[in-house]
Amino acid sequence: MKIIDESQMFITLTLMNHNGNVSGISSIDTREKTPPSNKYTPKKLQEFNYHISSFPLYKSHYTFREIMYKLYCEGKEKSFSRGIYEHEFHKMNICFNEPKVDMCHRCGVLQVKAKFATMNNTAGEDINEELAVHHMEADKDKKFALSDNSLLCYMFDLQQCLPSPYSNTLVSFYERFPWTHNLTMHETSIASVTCFMWHETEGAQLVSLTLEVKQVTLYSDTCGGQNKNSHVSAMSLFAMQKNQHLIIVDHKFLVK
């Protein structure tokens, strides 16, 4: 058996197949001749493809990785395997865009140092500890807002200005367009996102706060044209004047 590189089981089954026929001729191998009973039909696989194709191929800041399959199963009496759904997804050769998240300068430096220490098998405990301490400030505000209804914690950013109407034509792009602005605010305590959209012919709208809110903590980047300027400070003072119960507006910036 070692000479022909075959196992005992292979030889035993071959002899049983040979001796099981009167003619002494081995029967034809019937493997892979009939589809398995649990194989999905082409119609069902096409249904997967149609559902996957119904989602946009690119959408910034959001991904549907965790909810696509759940949305597919909604309203269906029999739910199919998520593995089959993902298999059809990968066969279509599409992928999710990585969400873009702002990071402060110190976080970026410490993460690069920690990665470099891991690659070179050097001690990186001090770096990881420094990064953890750096994150404690933001985590503390999140926990306070979660446990106390009088505190709110927001992270906000202004999306890139959008020309209205949108056009890819070179000549019309450089014509005078009214710009549309979108301010996205994420309330950390309930993981809720609110978008405030307006164009240049409109003014900003004041959002009223409930009477129980005493303090609001804001996180943003240090962009001077958007966040770190006198207009944002004036807005905070105006909000405190209109909401007499609001005592503190604490605006914190990503560390440079």
pTM of the model: 0.53
Per-range mean pLDDT, top range of 121-125, 204-208, 239-243: 239-243
Looking at residue 60, what is its pLDDT?
44
Q: How many CB atoms lie within 10 A of CB 227?
A: 19
Average model confidence (pLDDT) for the chain? 77
The per-residue pLDDT for range 61-90, each reduced to its tens digit, is: 444 555 777 777 877 776 667 788 888 877
Would the pLDDT of 129 be above 80?
A: yes
Q: Name the residue among 61, 56, 64 with its Cα closest to residue 158.
A: 61
Q: Compute the distance between CA of residue 191 and CA of residue 227 in angstroms, rounded to an integer.
A: 22
Instruction: Report how far apart, in Å, the C-alpha atoms of 180 and of each of 101, 156, 204, 205, 227 are.
Output: 21, 17, 12, 15, 17
The per-residue pLDDT for range 98-114, each reduced to its tens digit, is: 556 667 777 878 888 88
146 vs 210, more confident: 146
- Residue 71 DSSP symbol: H
Domain ranges across the chain: 37-100, 137-253
The per-residue pLDDT for range 148-172, each reduced to its tens digit, is: 888 889 888 888 777 777 766 666 6
